[in-house]
Amino acid sequence: MDTEITKKINAGTLIFQEGEPGDCAYIIQSGEIELSMLVHGRHSAFATLKKGELFGEMALIDNSFRTATATARTDVELLVISRDYIAKKIELSDPTVRMLLQVVLERYRDIHARLHEVSSSLKEHEKDSANSTISSFFKQYLSLSSKLASAITKRQSSGGTSDKINEDLDLTSKSVTRENNIKNALQNDEFELYYQPIVNIAQGTVAGCEALIRWNSPTLGFIPPDQFISLAEKTGLIIPLGKWITDQACLAAQEFRKHRDIYMSINLSALQFESESFIQDIDNAVKNAGLSNDCIKLEITESILMSNPELAEISLNKLKAAGFSIAIDDFGTGYSSFSYLHRFPIDTLKIDQSFVNAMFSNERSMEIVRTVSLLAKNLDMKIIAEGIEDKNESLQLDEFGCDFGQGYLYSRPVRYDEFIELLKYDSLPVAC
User: In the complex, which residues of this chain contact ligand C2E (CB under 6 A)?
Assistant: 196, 211-213, 224-226, 229, 245, 267-269, 329-330, 353, 387-389, 406-408, 413
Q: Which does 226 bind (CB under 5 to 8 A by kind): ligand C2E, Ca ion, none?
A: ligand C2E
Total residues in contact with Ca ion, by rule CB under 5 A: 5
Residue number with CB closer to ligand C2E (27 or 298): 298
Q: Where are the beta strands (DSSP E) in 218-307?
A: 221-223, 263-267, 296-301
- Structure letter (DSSP) for residue 345: -
**Residue closest to 256 by CA, chosen among 196, 338, 320, 341:** 196
Q: Which amino acid appears at position 78 of this protein?
A: L
Q: Which residues contact 432 (CB under 8 A, 6 or more apart)?
A: 390, 391, 409
Nearer Cβ to Ca ion, position 299 or 393?
299
Alpha carbon 432 to its chain's center: 38
Residue of 233, 329, 393, 403 that binds Ca ion (CB under 5 A): 329
Judged by CB under 5 A, the stretch of 33-41, 112-120, 267-275, 287-295 that binds Ca ion is: 267-275
Residue 165 contact among ligand C2E, Ca ion, none, beta carbon within 5 to 8 Å by kind: none
Cα–Cα distance list, 340 to 85, 274, 337, 344, 374 (Å): 36, 18, 6, 6, 17
Q: How far apart are CA 123 and CA 144, in angstroms?
A: 19
| Residue 267 lies near Ca ion (rule: CB under 5 A) | yes
Q: Name the residue type at position 49.
A: L
Angle at 362 between CA 356 and CA 363, to 5 degrees: 100
| Minimum distance of ligand C2E from residue 224's CB (angstroms) | 5
Least Å distance, CB 371 to ligand C2E, is 21
Closer to Ca ion by Cβ: residue 267 or 325:
267
407 binds, among Ca ion, ligand C2E, none (CB under 5 to 8 A by kind): ligand C2E
Least separation in angstroms between residue 194's CB and Ca ion is 12
Q: Closest distance between Ca ion and the C-beta of residue 265, in Å? A: 7
Choose one: 221-229, 233-241, 330-338, 374-382; the region binding Ca ion (CB under 5 A): 330-338
Inter-residue contact 326 to 346 (CB < 8 Å): yes
Q: Which is nearer to Ca ion, 52 or 405 (CB)?
A: 405
Contacts of 201 by beta carbon, 8 Å cutoff, 6+ apart = 385, 394, 397, 398, 402, 403, 404, 405
Tell me which residue of 11, 10, 12 sits closest to 43, measured CA to CA.
12
Answer with the entry of ligand C2E, Ca ion, none that 387 interacts with (C-beta below 5 to 8 A by kind). ligand C2E
In the complex with ligand C2E, the residue whose CB is nearer, 268 or 397, is 268
Shortest Å, Cβ 408 to ligand C2E: 4
Q: Which residues bind Ca ion (CB under 5 A)?
A: 267, 299, 329-330, 386
